[in-house]
Structure 1
Amino acid sequence: MNLSIKNSYCLVIFGLIALATTTTQFDVEDEPQINLEEDTDEVPNVDESESLLSNVISDVNKTLTNIYNTVTLANVTAENKTQTANETRKLVKCKEIMYEQIEEIEPVVEIINGSHLAKLLQIKPDITSRDMEASCVLVLFFARACPFSAHAAPHFNALARSYPSVKMVALDALKYQGINAQHGIIGVPTLKMFHNGRPVAKYNGTEYNIQLFSKFVHTITGQQPQTLLVTSKDFQGPVPSVVEKETDYFLILSWLFIIVCSVYYFVQSKYWQMIVEMVQNNWRESEAQHEHND
C-alpha cells in the first residue's frame, strides 16, 4: 500500500516535471521564432541594401549630370552671345587717303591748331551711319610740358605709318582750352578717334606704346597695321618727345585766385579778429607803459 502510494506520488511528481519542462521549452523556443520573423521583416537583407544603395548613387549621378549639362549650356550660350555681339559690333569704315604718286610720301602726324581741328571734324550730313565710308581722324591731345605726353610722342609719330588711311593729328591742349571743354578733355595725353567728325572712341589705357595704340585703332577700324616700328626719326617729331619747360600762365592765375580767396576768408574768420584784438591790446599796454615812464 505504501509502495503503491509512493509510486503514485512519484508518477505525479514526474508528470508535473514533464509538464513544466514542456511549457518551458514552448516558451523558450516559440518566442524567438516570432521575434526572428519580425526582425526578418524589419531589417532588409544584404542584396536589398546593395540594390537600394546603387539606386541612390544612380539618382545622384543623374542629378549631377543634369546640373553639369545646365551649367555647360549656360556657359556656351553666354559665349555665343558674347561672340555674336563682338561679330555684330559696328566698325567704322574709313575713307582711303589718296597720296601723290610723284614721290614716295610717308604719312606723318600733323600738329594743328583749334580752327584746323574744327575744319577736319566737319560733319557731312549725307553720311548717317558708321558703316558708310567717311574720313577717320585720330587726335592726340598733348602738352609740351607733360612727361607722359613726351613718352607717348614717338609711338604716336610711328603710328601714322601703320595706318595710312587714318588721318593722325596732334593738338596742344594747353593752348586751346576751349577745345578741351568741347571734347571733354580732362587730362593729357588723350587719344580720340573721330569718324565723319563724330567721336567714336577714346583710348583709356595707362600705358602708351605703339602696340597698344595699334590695337586701339584696329578694334575701331578693323584695319591691319602695315608696320609697327619706332625709329630714331620718330623721337625727333613732329610731336616732341622731350619735355619743354614753359610758363603756365593759367597755373599762375589759378594759384593767385586760391591765395586771394584764402586771404579773404581768413580775414572774415574769428581767428583774424582775435589776432587784431591781441595786437591792439599789446599796443595800448605799450603806450600806457611808455607814458608812465615819461
Structure 2
Amino acid sequence: MRSGRSCAEETGGAGCAASMKGRVLIVAGSDPGGGAGIQADLKAVTALDAYGATVITALTAQNTRGVFGVHAPPVAFVAQQMELVLEDIGADAIKTGMLHAADVIEVVSRTLDRMAPGVPLVVDPVMVAKGGARLLQPEAEGAMRTLLLPRATILTPNLPEAEALLGERIEGVDGMRRAARALQAMGPAAVLLKGGHAEGPVVTDVLRTAESETIFEDPRIETRATHGTGCTLASAIAAGLAQGLAVGAAVARGRRYLREAILTAPGLGHGHGPLNHAHTVRRFD
C-alpha cells in the first residue's frame, strides 16, 4: 500500500498488525467527478489504511466548475443504509458531510443515538460548495446546531461555515481563536477551525480540544486544486480516530496527508480541481 514511510510512521504509532485498520462510516453526498463528497472520503480513508463504508444522503450533478443539480433519496432510505451497515460491519468512527435538509439531520441523529452511541463522530458542516452553490438548506442550520454539534467528537468548519453557525464575521487569528471557543461551547468536544478562506501567504488553522489549543500554520499553496479539501481532511481525521489516534494526532496526520494531496494534484478539470488522494499508495504490478 505504501512507499517512503513505514506504516507505523504513517499511523502515528497506531500499529499495522493488519494492512487495514479501523472502520469508518461516511454519511454524505455523492460527487460524480470524484473530487469531493463520498468519493473523496473513500479515497482518503483507504489511502490511510482504514476501511470505508458509505451512506449516501444526496446525489449531486457536479464537476470542477460547480454543482448543477441535487437529488435526495427518502430519509427512510438514508436511515436504512445506516442501520444495515452498522448492524453488520459496525464502525470505529463516523464522519458526516453533506446533510442538506433538517429531516436528514434528524434521522441521522436518531440513528446515531440508537445504533452508535459513543462512537467518535467527525462533523464536517457542509453548507456551501466551492463554486458557491448552497448545499445546506437555511432552515436546516438550526438542526445542525442542536442535533449534530453536541454529538461531535470534532467539528471541522471552514471560515464561511463557522460564520454561518455563529452568525458573525471572523477576522484574523485572534478572531478565529474566539470563534473556535464559541463553537466548542455549542457542544462539540473539539473544533478544528480552518483558515484557508482567509487572505495572506500563510494558512492558519485553530484546533481546540478539551485540554488545549493548537495553532497550525503552513505556507499557502497557490493552486486551483482545492476541490474536496474539506471532505478529505475530515475523512482523514475520522480514519485516525478509527485507528485509535487522539484528536490532536489525527488532525496533525490528516493535515499532512491533505497538504501532500494538494501539492501532487493531477491537474484535472477546468475549475477547482481534485486532489491526489492516492499519494500514499505505491504502484502495484
TM-score range, shorter chain: under 0.3
Instruction: Flag the structure with higher helix content.
Output: 1
**Higher alpha-carbon Rg:** 1
Q: What is the TM-score of this pair, normalised by structure 2?
A: 0.25
Higher relative contact order (CA 8 A, sep 6+): 2
Q: What is the TM-score of this pair, normalised by structure 1?
A: 0.24
Instruction: Flag the structure with higher strand content.
Output: 2
